[in-house]
Structure 1
Amino acid sequence: MLLSVIVPAYNEEKTIQRVLSRLESIQLLSPFEKEIIVINDCSKDQTERAVKEFQSLHPNLDLTYLKHEVNQGKGAALHTGFRAAKGDYIIVQDADLEYDPEEFNLLLKPIINGYADVVYGSRFMGGRPHRILFFWHSIGNKMLTFASNMFTNLNLTDMETCYKLFRADLLKGLKLEEKRFGFEPEVTAKISRIKGIRIYEVGVSYYGRTYEEGKKINWKDGFRAIYCILKYGLGG
């Protein structure tokens, strides 16, 4: 079984090598192996140099590097990664250090045990480290999750989480449109409509960044998420 790890990156020269090092070192639960696909969304810094340097130092690592010549947004980078993925399952790993790849196995366990087709990693289920940062961000995340749940009839605690593990054939069967941060509510709405879909949620750690440390999502993305919840929740 192959797990495709999709890593969208935009101006992440400071962290991308550390993320790739962690991805290289993790030992996935049997029977899973991994491939890593990095999509550089036209970074203005030295992200490309950092990835290629890591690639040259680890020639035996199954690492694919792709690049957008024009910045298109995180969602577009994910679309590129999904198309390139060869795995039986697909997971997203941001190129910062907010999520810990060592916890992939927490998400894989319901898959391996035959319970799940999709697993979300929730930052709000408790029991794991969670950096204390922005009050209104957390309220906003919970409100967006609540609104999404109203339309999907799911009881997720963290719709906006980066860690979403999908059965590849189901994910690739979706017509995804959102090019930026609207990906999260769109994919949640569309995956929820698949007949017989089995969605699970497990708690994961969260080592959040401040804006000074490189956090990119803002209030405009929140309004776009509301629009996407309405659009795709109503069958768009």
Structure 2
Amino acid sequence: MKSSNGGAQELGTSIQVTPSSSRYVLSVLMPVMNERGTLLTLLDRVLAVPVEKEILIVDDGSTDGTRELLQREVEGKIPDVRVFYHERNQGKGAAIRTALPYAQGEFCIIQDGDLEYDPQDYLVILKAFSDPNVSAVYGSRFTHGMPKMRLANRLINRLLAWMVRSFYRTPLTDEATCYKAFRTEVLRSLPLTCRRFEFCPEVTAKLIRRHHRIVEVPIRYQARTIAQGKKIRWTDGVIAIWTLIKFRFARF
């Protein structure tokens, strides 16, 4: 991984960062891979949200020109935006783990590189942290009905939420939502090992097992298709199921 400030680091080695007092309200952790067509539009939408924030973009080994776009249009040109690079594709979870040590916000949120979610929903998510007992806030796509999506995605989302309710006794409706926000110190305290999309079930399991409170708020959602660039596959659903089972009983 190379960072926009010239450093280089592979995920498997230790990244030593001395945390400072929070400079921002929110750190937006944005893993991207082959998102050249949506990235600049998304970045404009994130920048338009009226909250003091930083954006930490991790290019996860893109091959479609995303990296070159970041270098040409973003890196070093927009205040409070930092860019990091993986030399090879390592996965969404790995990209989040790359960005997290550099976060300087009191809270952090995960933002995919597409346009399925509306960054204006950061505001309702952050409002839920007014309760000091809340450690994480999930933006639920399903509290006001089922948005349009592929049947397979609908079924796996229902199954994962059911597993959290049944195995972890926690009433979530949307375990797999991208919009997961955390108190940054809480997320840093979790011993994450994820590489790919298993970030979602792993972080959910470990939050609950460590008795952190998760609340949900409704958000907007517009699914994209595989043809439009959606990357999650049925095999990721199987891994998510196994991850929830594994961390229900694992010691960590």
TM-score (normalised: structure 2) = 0.86
SS of 1:111's partner is: helix
Alignment equivalent of 1:19, drawn from 32, 38, 42: 42
Residue 81 (structure 1) aligns with:
99
CA contact (8 A) 1:122 1:201 kept: yes
Q: Shift of the alpha carbon at 1:13?
A: 0.4
| Conserved 8 A contact 1:174-1:190 | yes
Amino acid at match of 1:101: P
The one-letter code sitting in structure 1 at the alignment partner of 2:230 is: K
After superposition, the C-alpha distances for 1:63-97 in whole angstroms (9 at most, x for unaligned) are 00000011111110010011221111110000000
Partner of 2:21: none
Q: For residue 224 of structure 2, what is the aligned residue in structure 1?
A: 209
Q: Answer yes or no: is the 8 Å Cα contact 1:3–1:34 preserved in 2.
A: yes
Runs of 4+ in 1 over 6 A off after TM superposition: none
Q: Does 1:42 align with 2:61?
A: yes
- SS in structure 1 of the partner of residue 105 of structure 2: coil
SS at match of 1:19: helix
Q: Is the Cα contact below 8 Å between 1:26 and 1:102 reproduced in 2?
A: yes
Q: 2:198 is matched with which residue: 175, 182, 198?
A: 182
Q: Is residue 61–residue 87 contact of structure 2 (8 Å, CA) maintained in 1? A: yes
Query: Is 1:51 aligned to 2:52, yes or no?
Result: no
- Worse-matched range after superposition: 86-95 or 106-115: 106-115
User: In the TM superposition, what is the alpha-carbon distance from 1:194 to its structure 2 partner?
Assistant: 2.3
1:198 corresponds to: 213
Match among 75, 82, 86 for residue 64 of structure 1? 82
CA-based RMSD: 1.6
Counterpart in 2 of 1:157?
Answer: 173
Aligned length: 228
Q: Could you tell me which amino acid in structure 1 is paired with residue 188 of structure 2? A: K
Q: Counterparts of 2:161 and 2:178 in 1: how far apart (Å)?
A: 13
> Residue in 1 aligned with 2:135?
117
Identity of aligned residues (%): 39
**What are structure 2's unaligned runs of at least 5 residues?**
1-23
Between the aligned partners of 2:193 and 2:65, the Cα distance in structure 1 is: 29
Q: Does the 8 Å contact 2:125/2:181 carry over to 1?
A: yes
Q: What secondary structure, in the 3-state scheme, does the structure 2 residue paired with 1:88 have?
A: strand
Deviates more, 1:19-28 or 1:47-56: 47-56
Structure 1: segments with no counterpart, 5+ residues: none
Q: Distance in 2 between matches of 1:41 and 1:212?
A: 20
- Equivalent AA in structure 2 for residue 166 of structure 1: F
- State yes or no: 1:102 paired with 2:125: no
C-alpha deviation, 1:199, in angstroms: 1.6
Aligned equivalent of 1:8, options 15, 19, 31: 31
